């Protein structure tokens, strides 16, 4: 059975961020993910994880100045030093939370620019090697042009080619079903082919990016397919609830665990 991680940047937003850990555990989740932890002290996040017996599935490396439209630094030729500083910061949070994988955002750049392609390759290789020394995986995620116009990594073929070319054992693909369906379709066949390099999976309905309970895709089929394929990683629930988060969890009921007792 898939192991679902509530995405606390999108779900349970009726609560303050640190209280979302409690809400997710109360709803039966055994793991969480989110975009960025950096507004909070590592020890405060670690405390919420520990008292709720939650695993930290994933979070993103620092993306630059999000408020100014930056969506990652990896493909920006003049920001390698900032990227390195961000990786060092993220490692403090990784140690505190026990996370096993981090996502590196590519940034807003034209993938046809040679300088951007070279910068991205350098950043991915350096980051993967740095994380690997700590026993961590690096994941890279193609993102569709509709949700993030101008994003450098906007094609699964580019991600697959880079992972294959670099040949680093801890460099993996973040397979977001929502983005895959919008970009290329053919989700099930792609999962079957790419699973050996997949390090994390995320889900949401298409096209609304809401609960994975309808619209274009049959998620009960896909969840069963993950079992058939032997996928043992996390499935991140990166969706925007239609209304109150807990009111939209009927899809999750067959998979929910028993809420953990807090310490």
Reported as half-sphere exposure (CB side, CA atoms, 13 A), residue 155 has a value of 8
CA distance 182 to 129: 31
3-class secondary structure, 114: helix
Question: How many C-beta atoms surround the C-beta of residue 35 within 10 A?
Answer: 17
Catalytic entry in 141, 160, 211, 225: 141
3-class secondary structure, 41: coil
- Kindly state the tokens that stand for 214: 């309808």
Assess whether 211 carries a catalytic annotation: no
Angle (CA) 178 17 79, round 5°: 65
CA distance 210 to 214: 9
Contacts of 2 (CB under 8 A, 6+ apart): 223, 226, 227, 231, 235, 255
Assess whether 129 carries a catalytic annotation: no
Catalytic entry in 33, 211, 225, 238: 238
Dihedral (CA of 192, 149, 239, 8) sign: positive
- Kindly state the tokens that stand for 210: 């809401």
Dihedral (CA of 101, 2, 169, 158) sign: negative
Among all residues, which ones are annotated catalytic?
141, 238
């Amino acid at each position: 059975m898939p192991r679902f991680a509530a995405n606390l940047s999108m779900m349970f937003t009726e609560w303050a961020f640190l209280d979302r850990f409690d809400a997710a555990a109360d709803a039966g989740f055994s793991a969480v993910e989110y975009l960025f932890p950096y507004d909070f002290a590592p020890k405060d996040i670690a405390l919420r994880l520990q008292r709720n017996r939650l695993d930290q599935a994933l979070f993103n490396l620092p993306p630059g100045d999000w408020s100014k439209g930056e969506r990652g630094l990896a493909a920006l030729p003049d920001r390698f030093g900032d990227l390195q500083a961000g990786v060092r910061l993220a490692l403090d949070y990784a140690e505190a939370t026990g996370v096993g994988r981090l996502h590196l955002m590519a940034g807003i750049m034209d993938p046809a620019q040679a300088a951007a392609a070279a910068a991205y390759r350098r950043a991915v290789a350096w980051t993967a090697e740095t994380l690997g020394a700590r026993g961590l995986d690096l994941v890279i995620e193609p993102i569709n042009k509709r949700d993030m116009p101008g994003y450098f990594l906007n094609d699964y073929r580019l991600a697959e080619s880079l992972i294959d070319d670099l040949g680093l054992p801890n460099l993996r693909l973040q397979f977001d079903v929502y983005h895959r369906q919008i970009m290329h379709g053919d989700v099930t066949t792609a999962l079957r082919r790419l699973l050996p390099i997949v390090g994390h999976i995320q889900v949401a309905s298409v096209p609304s990016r809401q609960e994975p309970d309808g619209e274009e895709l049959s998620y009960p089929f896909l969840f069963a397919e993950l079992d058939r394929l032997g996928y043992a990683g996390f499935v991140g629930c990166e969706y925007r609830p239609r209304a109150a988060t807990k009111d939209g969890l009927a899809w999750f009921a067959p998979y929910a665990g028993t809420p953990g007792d807090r310490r």
